[in-house]
Chain A
Amino acid sequence: MASKQQLSAIKGSKVLMVGAGGIGCELLKTLALSGFPDIHIIDMDTIEVSNLNRQFLFRQSHVGQSKAKVARDAVLKFRPDISITSYHANVKDHEFNVDFFKQFNVVLNGLDNLDARRHVNRLCLAACVPLVESGTTGFLGQVTVHVKGRTECYECQPKPAPKTYPVCTITSTPSKFVHCVVWAKDLLFAKLFGDKNQENDLNVHSKDGSSSSKHAEDVFERQEEENIEQYGKRIYDHVFGYNIELALSNEETWRNRNKPRPIYVKDVFSSELASQNGNLDKSSNGDTPSLSAMASLGLKNPQDLWSLKENSKVFLEALKLFFSKREKEIGNLSFDKDDQLAVEFVTAAANIRASSFGIPLHSLFEAKGIAGNIVHAVATTNAVIAGLIVIEAIKVLQHDIKNYRMTYCLEHPSRKMLLMPVEPFEPNKSCYVCSETPLDLEINTHCSKLRDVVDKIVKAKLGMNLPMIMHGPALLYEVGDDLGEAEVANYAANLEKVLSELPAPVMGGTILTVEDLQQELKCSINIKHREEFDEEKEPDGMVLSGWTQPRAAEKNGKTAVDSEVSTSSASEAVPLETEDDDDLQIIPTITGKKRKLSDISNETKNKRKAEELDSKNDVVMLDDENSDMSKKKRQQ
């Protein structure tokens, strides 16, 4: 039961929740039961069926409605006297500025992406409002507390960037199933069904500049007299047969690698008449409620492994269904994990490619998880984390600084602990977000354009949404609603210029100031000119550094999780959860020279800390924002 002081602190509080999903539902419920009288909640999403296994405030009948609104209504049913304000909006919207954040005593995050978390972190710092962060994946979870000036901010420890793959691995030398999925989704699917004007590396072969782009374009265009089935087979033969043969012709590539084998329709279907494919269509008319190649072919179980032949049938059938029943969408489609036909197509294409390269095939269920960056999730972990969040929130309301804890929910106990509290660390003095440390950027100032810096560094790496870039007093770039036509044109022109040719030329030694007014974040970037970059290791052609973790000290063998335990000579670590490369990993980081928040003793403690779990972004494929593959602009 909460003590009198706790109850009093709760009664006078006003809290903001960001996210009304897995953690959000559990959190809102627990806050309400704990007596929080004034709760605001922001979530931009609507409810989907796959949410219902854990987002228990929602029902089947709510699918399609706003999460924030439905969550609010559900909780008011058992706590009608509290105030819950819901916002069906993106937390990055203008209305949620520093003044908005300032009205709250604490902000509680239940988000599922790094981008939004960083944004909220910056606003909380700017508004001087404590932030309680959290995350869960399957059985794992953690809760962390961030108070400006006293603890690390959310970005003091670099978070793992979304995983990306070198272009050539995807286009020419895949070695894992995920590479095939990325190829199928971001290249083939995009090429066939997406924006035709989009640059697409589908026909790019490493070290082979010989394919003329004009020819490449024509190949994917459906010819006038060509019926859909013929077209499908032609595409199949082109991407799985011809393109592979072309790749094979470059001996160099395969010197130390297993060669792929080309696959043609005739190889897979051998003596069967090609046209038989069409006759297998069990749904004879177009009125199937959900268009599905699996349904047409009688493949019932998404967990089954299909043979090469079955995958090929799905490929051709899916392509046929897209062109015959969903013609209008072609040219505008982007991959959506909830689009059954798209998932079927991508699965089949990935599997055929995998087959070609000797990579094990996967079920639709598995492929969907990879392509859709699906995070596995259960209700119980979210419930535990929500409870821990509220406990921290109450401490924050009471300014009970000494007792703030970061708590890790483990799958396997470490030193008998399933829930492991650790004291928060002091702010990282080299954190460019909360400690205003300058960064270094190595770049070829004669070749790289301002646009590259804006997209790849300022937006993607630094997480700024509405950046302003200055070289001394010269404003090189900014965004805003209030800009005049001439200004907009000027900035657009600047984007296309290489750095050394900007109105205020940017060269080695230049210091750029980048700022995001909404996030109230400002930082300096020292430019260092460099001529060459490694295509594979540094595909962006630029390297950002200077933002370091606190230096790892020499292990002195001492470990303490809390102040109670006397330092023993045994140093124990949070257990490593090793999973497949493509899954999330908890990587213990050796951190040293970090002083405990309470600073009771002078000893330095060596703590191995489970690295932050993040959600979707950790398994993200070639993320639109980061990738070389797609030049699509993320819509704000």
Chain B
Amino acid sequence: MDGEELTEHETALYDRQIRVWGADAQRRLSKSHILVSGLKGTVIEFCKNIVLAGVGSVTLNDDRVVTEELLAANFLIPHDENVYAGKSLAELCCHSLKDFNPMVRVSVQKGDLSSFSVDFIEKFDAVVVSCCSLSTKKLVNEKCRKVSKRIAFYTVDCRDSCGEIFVDLQNYVYSKKEDAEMIECRLEYSSFEEAIAIPWRSLPRRVSKLYLAMRVIERFEELESRNPGDTSIADLPNVQKLRKELCEAHSLSESMIPDALLERLLASTTEFPPVCAIIGGVLGQEVIKAISGKGDPLKNFFFFDSMDGKGIIEDISKVKAEG
């Protein structure tokens, strides 16, 4: 970990993955620092993945106390009140995550995500947020973009048996081998705010319905000042109203955002463990790619819906819409 070469233990432990991405990438991973906020099932899966991969450090932020619902898809915390009473999610997860790989520093950062300063955020190479409001997402994303060093920013949200990942790597340059030659690739990402501001009519014609549905519900939660994820089927009529308004404003047919989909997303507050594993896996891979500089990162949204089983990448970027 300190020094340039991987230790003998690291080489033995990471043998199988070094065969995938190489020793250089492994070294870079071991020096990276990740901030993670919002520790529900999907994010727990993600944390497991990056700890196993051997990142330098993982800082956890989630002051919520444990509830039955929060434990639903969480394999880090035993269902034992004696163990979890009085402790925050972050504290409990930290304890268990350390176990997966003693070479990774796992720690807790208390406080409200929206209050973290730019100085604090600058310590990290990647920031992953979940269970946070639209305004917090935008805020944190902006802070990541303010610093001169590139900080990769990700949001992830799962509702019912669907999941959404957003990626912002700002201006990302990486090299890869194509036809035995090393070529340089450049990608320009939009911030979350920029991406969702793109008029719906400018989006690809067959854009994932999940994208649109998530935006409606996101907006709904913002307008109602709800905690993220705090919705129910009772909200459907009001959400449908909002959908109507938004679709009119975007000149989009309401049929693009089916009732059935909205119902699913509103009604289900508990996560579906298989989807957590899938989304947490894809997200883990994305962060590893960005940190190691190896592999084509996804740009810029990823959607999964277990109903049709497709895992789809949508490119909803400022540059593209204007081009």
Name the B residues within 8 Å of A398 (CB-CB): none
**Residues B313 and A413 in contact, CB atoms below 8 Å apart:** yes
Interface contact B285-A391, CB-CB below 8 Å:
no
Q: Whole-angstrom distance from the CB of B105 to the nearest CB of chain A?
A: 17
Near A by CB (< 8 A), chain B positions 282-303 give: 282, 284-285, 288, 295-296, 298, 302
- Say how far A341's CB is from chain B's closest CB, in angstroms: 15
Query: Is the Cβ of B20 less than 8 Å from the Cβ of A379?
Result: no
Q: Is A303 an interface residue (CB 8 A)?
A: yes
List residues of chain B with CB within 8 A of the CB of A52.
Answer: 13
Which residue from chain A places its CB closest to the CB of B21 in the assembled complex? A378
Partner of A384, one of B15, B52, B160, B278: B278
**Is the beta-carbon distance between A380 and B312 smaller than 8 angstroms?**
no
A378 contact set on B, CB distance < 8 A: 16-17, 20, 53, 285
* Residue among B17, B161, B269 making CB contact with A53, cutoff 8 Å: B17
B276 at the interface (CB under 8 A from A): yes
**CA of A2 to CA of B161 in the docked complex: distance in angstroms?**
8
Please name all residues of chain B whose beta carbon is closer than 8 Å to the beta carbon of A49 when the two chains form the complex: 12-13
> Which residues of B lie under 8 Å from residue A375 when comparing CB positions?
16
A1-B270, A33-B75, A418-B282 known; A379+B298 contact, CB < 8 A: no
- Asked if B228 CB lies within 8 Å of chain A CBs, one says no
Q: What's the Cα separation between A405 and B52 when bound, in Å? A: 30
Cross-chain pair count, CB within 8 angstroms:
169
Instruction: Give chain B residues whose Cβ lies under 8 Å from the Cβ of A379.
Output: 17, 48-49, 52-53, 281, 284
The A364-414 residues at the B interface (CB cut-off 8 A) are: 365, 369, 374-384, 386-388, 390-391, 394, 405, 407, 409, 411-413
In angstroms, Cα B23 to Cα A376, docked, is 13
What is the CB-to-nearest-CB distance from B128 to chain A, in angstroms, rounded to a whole number? 14
Q: How far is the CB of A182 from chain B (nearest CB, A)?
A: 19
Chain B residues contacting A387 (CB-CB under 8 Å) are 273-278, 281
Q: Is A118 an interface residue, CB under 8 A from the partner?
A: no
- Cα-based distance from A416 to B316 in the complex (angstroms): 12
Residue of A nearest to B287 (CB): A380
CA distance A625 to B5 in the complex (A): 40
Q: Which residues of A contact B16 (CB under 8 A)?
A: 50, 53-54, 374-378
Please name all residues of chain A whose beta carbon is closer than 8 Å to the beta carbon of B100 when the two chains form the complex. Answer: 56
A53 and B14 contact, Cβ closer than 8 Å, known pairs A59-B99, A383-B277, A391-B309: yes
In the bound complex, CA of A292 to CA of B314 (Å): 51
What is the CA–CA distance of A374 and B310 in the complex, to the nearest angstrom?
30
A54 touches B309 (CB 8 A): no
B192 within 8 A of A: no
Which residues of chain B from 10 to 52 have a CB within 8 Å of any chain A CB?
11-20, 23, 41, 45, 48-49, 52
Q: Report chain A residues within 8 Å CB of B276.
A: 33, 387
Task: Give min CB distance, A397 to chain B, whole Å.
Answer: 13
8 A Cβ contacts from A48-83 to B? 49-50, 52-54, 56, 59-60, 75, 77-80
Residue of B with least CB distance to A27: B277
Contact A301 B277, beta carbon cutoff 8 Å: no
Size range of the chain A interface in the assembly: 35 or more
Q: B78 contacts the other chain (Cβ, under 8 Å)?
A: yes
Task: Give the number of chain B interface residues (Cβ < 8 Å).
Answer: 62
Residues of B within 8 A of A552 (CB): none
Bound-state Cα–Cα, A156 to B322, Å: 50
Known pairs A50-B16, A384-B281, A562-B308; A1 contacts B160 (CB<8 A): yes
- B312–A78 touching, CB < 8 Å: no
The reply on B253 being an interface residue by CB < 8 A is: no
Contact pick for A56, options B20, B48, B161, CB 8 Å: B48
The reply to whether B99 and A376 form a contact with Cβ atoms under 8 Å apart is no
**B residues near A300, Cβ cutoff 8 Å:** 5
Q: Which residues of B contact A77 (CB under 8 A)?
A: 78
Let me know if B277 and A418 touch, CB within 8 A.
no
Residue A417 lies at the interface, judged by CB distance under 8 Å to chain B: yes
Residue of B12, B20, B79, B311 near A50 (CB, 8 A) is B12
A381 touches B310 (CB 8 A): no
Q: Which residues of B contact A564 (CB under 8 A)?
A: 308
Q: Does A29 contact B (CB under 8 A)?
A: yes
Q: Residues on A close to B: CB < 8 A?
A: 1-2, 26, 29-30, 32-34, 49-50, 52-54, 56, 59-60, 75, 77-80, 138-139, 300-303, 365, 369, 374-384, 386-388, 390-391, 394, 405, 407, 409, 411-413, 416-421, 562, 564
Top 6 closest pairs, chain A to chain B, by CB: A419-B311, A387-B277, A376-B19, A421-B309, A383-B281, A384-B281
A-B contact pairs, 22 of them (CB 8 A): A29-B277, A33-B72, A33-B74, A54-B16, A78-B74, A78-B75, A78-B79, A80-B78, A300-B5, A377-B20, A378-B16, A378-B53, A380-B282, A383-B277, A387-B274, A387-B276, A411-B295, A416-B314, A417-B310, A418-B282, A419-B309, A419-B310
Q: Known contacts A49-B13, A53-B16; can you find 8 more A-B pairs with CB under 8 A?
A: A33-B75, A50-B12, A52-B13, A80-B78, A303-B23, A374-B15, A418-B282, A418-B311
